Amino acid sequence: ADEMNTQLIIASHSEAVLDEASEASKVIALIENKVFELNAASPPQKIRYIKKALTEIGWEKYYLARAKKHVIYLEGSTDLQMLLCFANKLQHRVEPLLRTANVQYTADNVPATAIRNFASLKEIFPQLKGLALFDNLPNLQDNPKLKIICWTRRELENYFARPDILYRHAELLGRKHVAMG
């Protein structure tokens, strides 16, 4: 390329190619119509975020982040289902918002998973807002990038397992059984 005074353009999602290129020359990443220039002088954290953005985050996550302007991180889909049922039962104003929210599942109870994902998305969309909701975690430290909150009763399920609720449920089941019998 130097001898012929030309440019070489390679499109790749390969982490190995990105690593080599960012150490030896200039890499131009195009994500959501934004240009990110990476080279040996780029801060290592920026290289990590952009590399993660190119190799680990699917296009649909970018689309949702751009469209919704927020991300909610939950451990799994049952957490969202329980929150929706709880909001419905309480007739809470958050229910319709939850139904259309940009929710991502971490599949673990480790804040670092959500923080890394959010940091990569926020590098692309600086105005992005984020919230992560986890089971009660000891020694959780505030994070400047992502708002993290925890259930005080350890897990979401513990808000439903109260004696008065369990008695009422058993009573309803008993009536149903008698009516069917």
Report pLDDT digits (tens) over 84-108.
998 998 899 999 999 999 999 998 8
Domain identity same for 37 and 116 = no
Indicate whether 20 belongs to any domain: yes
Domain assignment of residue 11, given as a range = 1-56
Indicate whether 176 belongs to any domain: no
- Percent of the chain's residues with pLDDT above 90: 28
Domain identity same for 38 and 65 = no
Indicate whether 158 belongs to any domain: no
Domain identity same for 52 and 67 = no
| Integer Cα distance of 95 and 131 in angstroms | 16
- How many beta carbons lie within 10 A of that of residue 141, not counting itself? 7
| Integer Cα distance of 111 and 141 in angstroms | 10
Question: Would you say residue 68 has pLDDT above 80?
Answer: yes
What is the rounded average pLDDT for all residues in the chain?
80
Domain identity same for 62 and 143 = yes
Per DSSP, 61 falls in state: H
For residue 161, what are its two tokens?
Answer: 């397992």
Beta strands in 40-97 (DSSP E): 70-74
Domain identity same for 112 and 63 = yes
Pairing of strands 27-31, 147-150: unpaired
Indicate whether 178 belongs to any domain: no
| Integer Cα distance of 113 and 106 in angstroms | 6
Indicate whether 19 belongs to any domain: yes
Indicate whether 138 belongs to any domain: yes
Higher pLDDT, 115 or 45: 115
Domain identity same for 129 and 106 = yes
Indicate whether 91 belongs to any domain: yes
Domain identity same for 8 and 68 = no
